[in-house]
Amino acid sequence: MIKQEQHPILKTSNLAIGYASKKEDTIIASNINIELNQGELVGLIGANGVGKSTLLRTLTKVQDALHGNIFINNHNISDLSALHLSKVMSLVLTETMASKNLSVYELILLGRQPYTNWIGSFSKQDIEIANKAIQQVKITDLKEKKCFELSDGQLQKAMIARALAQDTDLIILDEPTTHLDMYHKAYILKLLQKLAKDTHKTILFSSHEIDLAIQLCDKLIVMTDNKVVYNTPKQLIKDGVFETLFPKDLITFDETTGSFRVKSD
Amino acid sequence: MHNSKSYKISFIILIVILLSCFFINISLGSVNIPLKDIVNSLFGGETSLKPWEHIVINYRLPKALTAIIVGSGLGISGLLMQTLFRNPLAGPFVLGISSGASLGVALVILGSGIFGGFTTLMLASKWSIIIAASLGSFLVLLAVLMVSLKVRDTMVLLIIGLMFASITASIVSILSYFGTAEQLQQYVFWGFGSLGNLAWDDLSVLFVIYILGIILSVFSIKSLNTLLLGENYAKSLGLNIKQSQLLIIITTSILAGVITAFTGPIAFIGLAIPHITRQVFNTANHKVLLPAVFLFGAIVMLICDSIAQLPTSDLTLPINAITAIVGAPVVVWLLIRKRSMMF
């Protein structure tokens, strides 16, 4: 295969996010410049209320940017239709699906909806891609189960498979590890790492699992009150970014282990 | 989708049951007509008695066809509502569509006494009732849609539907106070629901609009399936939410509105049929559910109508009473058995 010229899958230039109102704009974060390349696993971390969700909502075109631009595959997302966007970006949200009466297989096939005809018929190719997604996430044994029968961890895997079936260059996950136990948190993030490597998709997720993200991600977007930093975990540790993440009264960052420790009195 | 083979068998069985119910429904009635003569009159043969052919062709056949249209149409509109509002309790009746139709009809039948005009001394014509009911149901659905865009909680919608039913009831009682006895009777009879009042030319009008609703519902299948994931996911799958909502609302108001207009408000079919269907067809895929709901609705309605006409007696019970007696226990049974309702 001819190697295509590398271009960023997701890129922002001088992006400012927040809420616009008639009187004045409430800027939550500004000057966000990130560049996500093909096959990268990128974590978005920051304290509660710092604007992670707002950033994801802006990147996924749920809300408008205050300033600056967002490009997916060199297309400005403000120019993309919902249907076009659905073929380049898939989502795993914190909310579960409305109907848990769906079977896992039905759920994953729904990821093919952007490619189907007016009545939503699935072609042979759609079914192949859905089955491949099921294999990649290793949930073949869950295929015929109903979603209300699944545990939180199984459900999350099914949602990831659905996003894979959508066959987009970029997958964005909003806190995919909430509600999960320690093992499944590590399992899901490890799975995302493997998927990014195997499928060459770019995966961006927000998370509070900072130590796991440091270990597994290619790059991290760290949001603090003052600024948004984007770099490799190693460089971020070297720059001491994690120390600025939280107030210093309770926990401190241990550079050698790459994790937070509760302060001893 | 997958295991479509087992669905095929279920569909064949349902079609056979539907045809049987259709023939049973036609062969039952206040006049006892031998099966041979029923078949003969349906297929253009000679009947032993001339009036029998007239009864079968001009009374029983349109009534059975109306039952099929009403059962399938209300069932499908219930299915659409349950998916759109993400609420297993949604249905044309619960959300106040029928109340809207009732209000429209009450205004036309009873209101003519208050508002005067040239219809004062006449009873409202069939067509003015039909148009009023359609308009009423469409306006209510539009109101429900507008509220649904404002509030996220679908429970609120159901409460608003209930409130609308109370408002309707009170307006109707005010109108009744001024109405004449004949007008009152006409309104009450409309409220009982009736499948037998439609002559062939009424039925053909109902049929044309019903087919339009069915075609639109087929066009909603993809949106409905995508909406099973919730609005945010549906949007991320490239679905135009506003457009889909509008299509589904219009489809429902056409189906439920026109059926209510022609036959009166018929309870519980729209709510119960989708749930009965989901018990048999273990899928959330609307491409399977829609035709299945169609068949189940038609079958249940034919059975209800057969019961309503109390075979071998001259009496005919209000169809509305029968559908509620059949429908309500089904919903209760589902709730007890599954301890939750899904959509």
The pLDDT of residue B189 is above 90:
no
Whether A179 contacts A152, CB under 8 Å: yes
Chain A residue closest to B240 (CA)? A82
Residue B149, C-beta contacts closer than 8 angstroms, at least 6 positions apart: none
Interface test with B, best of A77, A95, A101 (most B CBs within 10 A): A101
User: Is A86–B218 a contact, with Cβ atoms under 8 angstroms apart?
Assistant: no
Amino acid type, B145: L
Amino acid type, B159: I
Residue A82, in any domain of the structure = yes
How much is the pLDDT for A210? 93
How many domains does chain A fold into?
1
The pLDDT of residue B152 is above 90:
no
> What's the whole-number mean pLDDT along residues B193-217?
93
The pLDDT of residue A28 is above 80:
yes
The pLDDT of residue B149 is above 80:
no
> What's the whole-number mean pLDDT along residues B314-343?
80
Residues from B contacting A (CB-CB < 8 Å) are: 1-2, 83, 86, 218-219, 221-222, 225-233, 235-240, 278, 283-285, 287, 342-343
Q: What is the pLDDT of residues B37-74, one digit of tens each?
A: 888 888 877 778 888 888 889 999 999 999 999 999 99
Q: Which residue has the higher pLDDT, A3 or B126?
A: B126
Residue B223, in any domain of the structure = yes
Mean pLDDT of chain B: 85
How much is the pLDDT for B124? 64
Residue A225, C-beta contacts closer than 8 angstroms, at least 6 positions apart: A50
> What's the whole-number mean pLDDT along residues A87-110?
94
Residue B318, in any domain of the structure = no
Residue B326, in any domain of the structure = no
Chain A residue closest to B226 (CA)? A110
User: Is B238–A85 a contact, with Cβ atoms under 8 angstroms apart?
Assistant: yes
Measured between beta carbons, which residues in chain A are less than 8 angstroms from residue B343? 99, 101
CATH number of the domain at A72, please. 3.40.50.300
Q: What is the pLDDT of residues B242-272, one digit of tens each?
A: 889 889 888 988 898 889 889 988 988 998 9
How many domains does chain B fold into?
1
- Percent of chain B, pLDDT > 90? 34
How much is the pLDDT for B108? 87
CATH number of the domain at B247, please. 1.10.3470.10
pLDDT category, B287, cuts 50, 70, 90? very high
Residue A113 forms contact with B (CB below 8 Å): yes
Distance CA A71, CA B84 (A): 33
Domain that holds residue B306: 4-313
Q: What is the pLDDT of residues A38-52, one digit of tens each?
A: 999 999 999 998 999
- Percent of chain A, pLDDT > 70? 98
How much is the pLDDT for B316? 84
The highest-confidence range among A161-175, B46-60, B108-122, B145-159, by mean pLDDT, is A161-175
Amino acid type, B229: L
Of B219, B232, B284, nearest to A99 by CB-CB distance is: B284
Residue A161, in any domain of the structure = no
3-state helix, strand, coil split of chain A in percent (to 5) is 35, 25, 40
| Residue with token string 């205050």 | A66
Domain that holds residue A73: 1-88+170-177+200-265
The Cα of A192 is separated from the nearest Cα of chain B by a number of Å equal to 20
User: Is B228–A81 a contact, with Cβ atoms under 8 angstroms apart?
Assistant: no
Least confident of A28-37, A200-209, A254-263, B221-230: A254-263
Residue A113, in any domain of the structure = no
The Cα of A83 is separated from the nearest Cα of chain B by a number of Å equal to 4
User: Is B1–A97 a contact, with Cβ atoms under 8 angstroms apart?
Assistant: no
Query: Across the A/B interface, how many CB contacts are shorter than 8 Å?
Result: 91
Chain B residue closest to A117 (CA)? B222
Distance CA A40, CA A189 (A): 13
Residue B331, in any domain of the structure = no
The Cα of A156 is separated from the nearest Cα of chain B by a number of Å equal to 14
> What's the whole-number mean pLDDT along residues B20-30?
91
The highest-confidence range among A148-157, B39-48, B274-283, by mean pLDDT, is A148-157
What the block records as the tokens of B254 is 């056409």
The pLDDT of residue B1 is above 50:
no
The pLDDT of residue B3 is above 60:
no
Nearest to A218 by CA among A235, A198, A232: A232
pLDDT category, B120, cuts 50, 70, 90? very low
User: Is A113–B235 a contact, with Cβ atoms under 8 angstroms apart?
Assistant: no
Residue B319, in any domain of the structure = no
Residue A136, in any domain of the structure = no
Dihedral angle computed from the Cα positions of residues B148, B149, B154 and B157, in that order, rounded to the nearest 10 degrees: -20
What the block records as the tokens of A211 is 């130590």
Distance CA B179, CA B112 (A): 8
